[in-house]
Amino acid sequence: MTKTLEVERLSVTYATREGGLQALREVSLEVPAGQIVGIVGESGCGKSTLIGALLHLLPENATRTGGSIRLADEEIATASPRRLRDLRGQDMSVVFQDPMTSLNPVISIGRQMRDIQYRDRIGHAEKNDRAAAMLARVGMPDPKGKLSAYPHELSGGMRQRVAIAMAAMMMPKLLIADEPTTALDATLEIQIIELLKEIQKEIGCAILFISHHLGVIAELCDRVVVMYAGEVVEEGAVEEVFLRPAHPYTQKLIECDPGRLKRKVASLPSIPGSLPDLTNPPAGCIFRARCPYATDICIERPPRVTLTPPHWAACHHAQEVHG
């Protein structure tokens, strides 16, 4: 199976007054071509840091301390700024939670959509036609008329459709979506999820989808990556992981509220205890302090236990949890 994205042992540290905060520790995951992969985990587990590292958009106090990031077999962790600009425009595109992050408030939708086609040697009118066609494709009413509108004249849902249209127009190999539906109501959320599914089929891209909404991940994704406190603790096909989790953290997420996968509950359950201090993370298993399965062996770093490939969990007790 070809891989659109392959992240290997990626580590990122933020310089803080309390010392180095290890936001990502040896994170490995893969996004096979044409698949939709979801990343789930509590707030603070490193999801946005991961996206920032992929796109080279981390804040100044962040350092990548190790690891590799391959996009369609090209090492991009060490790519030049110039190569990255090309990659971000052509091979990777991103949809953020708040579409205003990527839209310019003082430039019309039409001009923004023409501007991103700057590489294409076609005229103004043709760029407009393409932009309008893409807006129509994402379900925008009166797409031609909308070209002269400004972002603030559209509703939140419509702005997110514009952001998706712009991301899709680049025909990226990888489309990254960081909680793109979190700010929307449930009805709009379902529409946007359906739209992402259709876009994936049409342009054949892979999608990396960040969410803390288990129901949405179950609905949309082929694969899921579960993160806890800066580490990937479990990865596998969505049905495998959600029906038979092998990491106690994943099991907790689901067990706290089994209806969560069906009902559209937008928050993760709360698990007793708190996240470890990432400026001084404990040795051994990172989830140990909150884990009902923990034993003495958990002070050692857990192995990566493979269940039904590609399903694996980083837990000494994975077989027992999996049942």
Ligand X SMILES: Nc1ncnc2c1ncn2[C@@H]1O[C@H](COP(=O)(O)OP(=O)(O)O)[C@@H](O)[C@H]1O
Compute the CA torsion angle 270, 272, 278, 280 (nearest 10 deg).
180
Q: Which is nearer to Mg ion, 229 or 246 (CB)?
A: 229
66 binds, among ligand X, Mg ion, none (CB under 5 to 8 A by kind): none
User: Per CB under 6 A, does 59 bind ligand X?
Assistant: yes
Place of tokens 């036609």: 129
Closest CB to Mg ion: residue number: 48
3-state secondary structure of 226: strand
Cα angle, residue 96 at apex, residues 245 and 21 outer, rounded to 5°:
65
Minimum distance from CB of 62 to ligand X (Å)?
6
Minimum distance from CB of 50 to ligand X (Å)?
7
Interface residue list for Mg ion (CB under 5 A): 47-48
- Answer for which of 278, 285, 298, 318 binds ligand X (CB under 6 A) is 278
User: Per CB under 6 A, does 61 bind ligand X?
Assistant: yes
Stretch that binds ligand X, among 41-49, 118-126, 161-169, 312-320 (CB under 6 A): 41-49
Instruction: Specify the amino acid at residue 78.
Output: T
67 binds, among Mg ion, ligand X, none (CB under 5 to 8 A by kind): none
- Answer for which of 5, 7, 10, 21 binds ligand X (CB under 6 A) is 21
- Answer for which of 7, 35, 37, 46 binds ligand X (CB under 6 A) is 46
Cross-strand partners of 125: none
- Answer for which of 34, 44, 156, 282 binds ligand X (CB under 6 A) is 44
Provide the CA 170 distance to its chain's centre, in angstroms: 18
- Answer for which of 5, 7, 14, 135 binds ligand X (CB under 6 A) is 14
User: How many positions of this chain bind ligand X (CB under 6 A)?
Assistant: 15
Stretch that binds ligand X, among 38-46, 82-90, 169-177, 258-266 (CB under 6 A): 38-46
Query: 117-153 b/e with 16+ CB inside 10 Å = b?
Result: beeeeeeeeebbebbbebbebbbbeebeebbebebee
Residue 114 near residue 131, CB atoms below 8 Å: yes
User: Per CB under 6 A, does 249 bind ligand X?
Assistant: no
221 binds, among ligand X, Mg ion, none (CB under 5 to 8 A by kind): none
β-strands 174-178, 206-210 pairing: parallel
Query: 174-186 b/e with 16+ CB inside 10 Å = b?
Result: bbbbbbbbbbbee
- Answer for which of 9, 18, 19, 43 binds ligand X (CB under 6 A) is 43
User: Among 107, 101, 3, 23, which Cα is nearest to 67's?
Assistant: 23
Q: Summarize as ranges the residues that interact with ligand X (CB under 6 A).
A: 14, 16, 21, 23, 41, 43-49, 59, 61, 278
